Amino acid sequence: MIRRKKLFILGLGIFLSGLLVMAPTLYYRTKDYAAANHFQTQTTIPAPQLKSSPTLVSGKPIELILDDLKLKLIVTDGVYNNLTGQWSLSTNKAHYALLSTVPNNEEGNTLIYGHYRPEVFARLKRVQPGNEAIVLTDNGYRFIYRFRSTQAVNPTDTSIFAYRGAPMLTLQTCSGAWMQNRQLYSFDLFRFEKI
């Protein structure tokens, strides 16, 4: 009888410990569920198209520099699978989301994303309004953006791909106690120049 009582108390202790450990996860999942119902998502995402004009300057990103954060990264192509919700990722590079707009001087949102790791985007949390992000392109242009704001979104929120408006850059990484959110850092185009 005493042995059963000890086993019951031990089992109850393990159960309560597991519940205590899982409480933050359950909290954030509930919060994410509410956020998922708040944001509109799409299952198929059309790639943004740019209007061709004589003044259009654009190029595929190959390097990202944030001098204020002492961050310089190679940028490679990145793919988002809208069926699985998975992103292609590297442990030491940033990725240009091919579904987003290439850096340009007319319209659209360029999305560059990466892991929340010291080698990649862990330092982004220190970015300040007015800090600059420089994107170098494969055709020899430098696009300079200024940081405006940041927000956390649900991982299933893909509305960023539907953006139409003034040219901007968004840097994306994970955030939250369990890295369950996506943190978006928005930068407005300030100027561009031929290198």
Residue 70 lies in a domain: yes
- Name the band, by pLDDT with cuts 50, 70 and 90, for residue 22: low
- The tokens of 4 are what? 């059963």
Residues in Cβ contact with 187 at an 8 Å cutoff, skipping those fewer than 6 apart: 133, 145, 146, 147, 148, 168, 169, 170, 171
In a domain, 148, yes or no: yes
Threshold 0.75, pTM exceeds: no
Spell out the residues 6+ positions from residue 87 whose beta carbon is closer than 8 angstroms to its own: 78, 79, 80, 81, 95, 97, 113
- Do the domain assignments include residue 65? yes
Q: What is the number of domains present in the chain?
A: 1
pLDDT digits (tens, 9 = 90+) for 40-78: 333 334 444 455 566 899 999 999 999 999 999 999 999
In a domain, 20, yes or no: no
Task: Give me the percent of the chain exceeding a pLDDT of 90.
Answer: 51
By three-state DSSP, how is residue 59 classified?
Answer: coil
**pLDDT value of residue 149:** 93
Query: Residue 128 pLDDT more than 70?
Result: yes
Task: Identify the pLDDT of residue 42.
Answer: 33
Q: With H, G, I as helix, E, B as strand and everything else as coil, classify residue 46.
A: coil
Q: What is the pLDDT of residues 84-120, one digit of tens each?
A: 878 888 889 999 999 899 999 999 999 999 999 999 9
Residue 28 has pLDDT above 50, yes or no: no
Enumerate residues 6+ apart whose C-beta is below 8 A from 130.
146, 147
31 domain-assigned: no
What tens digit of pLDDT does each residue of 143-166 get?
A: 999 999 999 988 878 888 888 899
Compute the distance between CA of residue 96 and CA of residue 103 in angstroms, rounded to an integer. Answer: 10
User: What DSSP character marks residue 166?
Assistant: S
Is 32 a domain residue?
Answer: no
CATH no. for residue 149? 2.40.260.10
Q: Is residue 113 part of a domain?
A: yes
Q: Is 42 inside any structural domain?
A: no
| Owning domain of residue 130 | 61-194
Confidence class for position 133, pLDDT limits 50, 70, 90: very high
Measure the CA–CA gap between 148 and 95, rounded to whole angstroms.
21
What local confidence, expressed as pLDDT, does residue 157 receive? 81
Element (H, E) at 111: strand 109-113
Tell me the average pLDDT across 7-18: 70
